[in-house]
């Protein structure tokens, strides 16, 4: 439920719901690790946008002041995890998960080769030293983009030709996994009694608006990415220079 007062897995109706309730931890940690691994401007831009979407949802909660669903009776079995005491409209989790889903889903064809190469590298050996070297698999350089726009695919983007069957299957599996995680996360907010369906739909609608808007700003301002990338490289070289020096 929270970092300061976390629930125990035994308090949940199922371990699956416990995992879904911890998506704010697992997704945030995964994003941070990917950012450290790639040190890419677009990944940082996306991360800031995702974090910003949660703050927009929190501000709207304070403005709307809509209560969460009432707690279930104590004798209910299996007893649900006790609802939170903050306001409920819109659902912050639903906003963030939808931001991830809307922003990343159209980019899956260009992300699939990176994921497959990473999996092959990991399966080949467990040498983690490449994490401390500048990777050529950056999303901002060295990888041909399949999507010219991060949200809206265009016909002119498929200049590289027809993707191989393995990439097509990989893209489909990644898309299904991303969509499944998104849908399960939204469902869990209602199932756990944290939000009403209207609050979940409100959060999803907010995330669906913020994600393409944030992606459009990135697409229309390529110079921003260059500035961010130079800053990342400068900071990383300074940090690693002190660590290795």
| Residue 187 CA neighbour count, 13 Å, CB half | 10
- C-alpha–C-alpha distance, residues 173 and 142, integer Å: 24
Q: How many CB atoms lie within 10 A of CB 110?
A: 20
The answer to whether residues 92 and 59 touch, using CB atoms and an 8 Å cutoff, is no
**What gap in Å lies between CA 51 and CA 131, rounded to an integer?**
24
pLDDT in tens, 173-186: 888 888 999 999 89
Average pLDDT over residues 194-203: 93
6-60: pLDDT as tens digits:
566 667 777 777 788 888 888 889 888 888 888 888 989 999 999 999 999 999 9
pLDDT in tens, 112-136: 666 666 656 555 544 444 444 444 3
pTM of the model: 0.74
pLDDT of residue 110: 72
Query: pLDDT, tens digit, for every residue of 62-115?
Result: 999 998 887 766 666 554 565 667 888 999 999 999 999 999 888 887 776 666
Secondary structure, 3-state, 44-60: HHHHHHHHHHHHHHHHH
The answer to whether residues 46 and 105 touch, using CB atoms and an 8 Å cutoff, is no
* DSSP H/E element including 104: helix 92-104
Alpha-carbon gap, residue 85 to 4, rounded angstroms: 14
The pLDDT value recorded for residue 121 is 57
Give residue limits of the domains in the chain: 9-233
∠ CA(107), CA(108), CA(109), 5° rounding?
95
| pLDDT greater than 90 at residue 212 | yes
- Per the model's pLDDT, the better-predicted residue between 150 and 245 turns out to be 245
């Amino acid at each position: 439920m929270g970092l300061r007062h976390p629930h125990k897995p035994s308090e949940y109706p199922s371990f699956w719901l416990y995992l879904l309730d911890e998506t704010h931890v697992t997704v945030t940690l995964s994003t941070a690790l990917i950012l450290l691994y790639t040190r890419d401007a677009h990944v940082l831009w996306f991360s800031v946008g995702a974090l910003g979407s949660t703050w927009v949802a929190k501000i709207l909660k304070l403005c709307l002041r809509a209560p969460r669903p009432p707690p279930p009776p104590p004798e209910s079995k299996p007893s649900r995890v006790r609802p939170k005491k903050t306001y409920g409209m819109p659902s912050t989790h639903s906003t963030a998960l939808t931001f991830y889903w809307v922003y990343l889903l159209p980019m899956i064809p260009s992300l699939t080769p990176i994921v497959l190469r990473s999996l092959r590298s990991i399966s080949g050996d467990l040498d983690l030293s490449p994490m401390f070297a500048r990777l050529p698999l950056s999303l901002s350089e060295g990888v041909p983009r399949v999507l010219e726009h991060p949200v809206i695919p265009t016909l002119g983007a498929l200049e590289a030709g027809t993707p191989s069957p393995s990439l097509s299957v990989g893209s489909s599996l990644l898309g299904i996994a991303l969509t499944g995680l998104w849908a399960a996360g939204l469902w869990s907010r209602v199932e756990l009694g944290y939000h009403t369906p209207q609050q979940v739909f409100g959060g999803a609608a907010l995330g669906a608006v913020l994600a393409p808007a944030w992606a459009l700003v990135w697409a229309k301002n390529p110079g921003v990415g260059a500035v961010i990338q130079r800053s990342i490289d400068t900071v990383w070289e300074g940090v690693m220079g002190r660590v290795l020096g």
